[in-house]
Chain A
Amino acid sequence: AQTVTQSQPEMSVQEAETVTLSCTYDTSESDYYLFWYKQPPSRQMILVIRQEAYKQQNATENRFSVNFQKAAKSFSLKISDSQLGDAAMYFCAYSSAGTSYGKLTFGQGTILTVHP
């Protein structure tokens, strides 16, 4: 079974600065997908960024980028120019490309606080 570990229960950053959230995962599969989801206090999970394991190029979405290290099974999220609206719980998630029907396995989450 796959597992996802987020070792930082809480992180904080000053507005306009950069912060990196860590995620490691364990799998024996070679093809899979990795995601970062954001969950604000409203509870609505929002996709931040997605990475396909067979693509070596790191995904980027505006101020959000990932550092995907397949051999190390590491998938960190970098948030540049942090904004107050980035404050939320962030979850790293794994999905097999095989027969698991796309179900997500989530990490424990990291609470991000943004200070003005």
Chain B
Amino acid sequence: GAGVSQTPSNKVTEKGKYVELRCDPISGHTALYWYRQSLGQGPEFLIYFQGTGAADDSGLPNDRFFAVRPEGSVSTLKIQRTERGDSAVYLCASSSGLVGNEQFFGPGTRLTVL
């Protein structure tokens, strides 16, 4: 079956612009996570969805970041007024929702803010 997919794979934007990053989880997975990975570092948690609702958004760095999952499947991470410090790889993962179960990761979107 298909794994987690993310689009675009690479995104280059200018400082101050708005960007949307998309994640298609594995079909049937109720849990969806977004992580951010800076160069040479481990991923850092941003937000968790269980179904359509954001159950934990404690990792979002500020109010320029927002994510939605309106139908409980595809999720979009939205970044307003991008800054150079937002440059990173944004990873999406999905799982069956049971704590401790494997999270399946997508290939990530590399965001570069010029």
Residues of A near any B CB (own CB < 8 A): 4, 33, 35, 37, 42-47, 50, 52, 91, 93, 95-98, 100-109
Contacts and interface: CB of A to CB of B under 8 A. Distances in A.
Contacts of B25: none
Nearest to B9: A43
A103 B105 contact: no
Contacts of A43: 89, 91, 107-108, 110
Interface residues of B, number: 30
Contacts of A93: 42
Given A95-B100, A101-B55, A45 B91 contact: yes
B103 interface: yes
A37 B43 CA distance: 11
Given A44-B107, A101-B55, A108 B31 contact: no
Interface in B30-62: 31, 33, 35, 40-45, 48, 50, 55-56, 59
B11 to A, nearest CB: 14
A97 B101 CA distance: 10
Contacts of B40: 108-109
Give the interface centre of B40, B50, B99, B108 by most chain A CB atoms within 10 Å. Answer: B99
B105 A106 contact: no
B42 A107 contact: yes
Nearest to A9: B40
A12 to B, nearest CB: 17
A101 B108 contact: no
Give the interface centre of B48, B91, B103 by most chain A CB atoms within 10 Å. Answer: B103
A37 B68 CA distance: 27
9 contacts: A43-B107, A45-B43, A45-B91, A91-B43, A101-B48, A101-B99, A102-B98, A104-B35, A108-B42
Interface string B60-101: 000000000000000000000000000001010101011111
Contacts of B97: 102
